[in-house]
Amino acid sequence: MNEQYTIRIYDSKIKNKLEKVYKEVDDLFATKNPFIVDCINRGLDSMIKDLSASKKVESISELYDEMHLTVEKLDNLIKLSERNAKENIANLTVNQKLLSCNYNMLLGLTDNAPKKADLVEAGMYDDLPERLLEMLEDILKVYLKK
């Protein structure tokens, strides 16, 4: 008996990636179904290869190919991690400025001297208060020790 599977893909990134790759190779497949079956087969082969703890290498060229593939994967992981770290730093910097501004505006409210909107927008209250800046520097010293 020939079993059939129906697959639903809800992740738009995966769907878009499938569409993009299919457009590049649609002349190799009669319909999208054989293309997706080929993708699944290749993915399964890759997973089986990755999950097998002991694999016998039959030739030096096969070992070289495996090493090359591993280096490519590591390189992609490093690039992705670097981009992610840069995005996190950018978001943290913006959040720190926003929190500093909010803190300074709250202090102004307690002094019955609300801050003017144009000064807030100009960034006049974005600086981290001195005591918090010192705390941040101390924490960074601890975490950035080699």
Per-residue pLDDT reduced to its tens digit, 33-60: 999 999 999 899 888 877 775 566 678 8
pLDDT tier for residue 146 given thresholds of 50, 70 and 90: low
Domain boundaries, the chain: 1-53
pLDDT beyond 80 at 25: yes
Three-state DSSP string of the chain: CCCCCCCCCCCHHHHHHHHHHHHHHHHHCCCHHHHHHHHHHHHHHHHHHHHCCCCCCCCHHHHHHHHHHHHHHHHHHHHHHHHHHHHHHHHHHHHHHHHHHHHHHHHHHHCCCCCCHHHHHCCCCCCCCHHHHHHHHHHHHHHCCC
Per residue in 65-123, pLDDT tens? 888 988 999 998 998 898 888 888 888 888 888 888 888 777 777 767 666 777 777 88
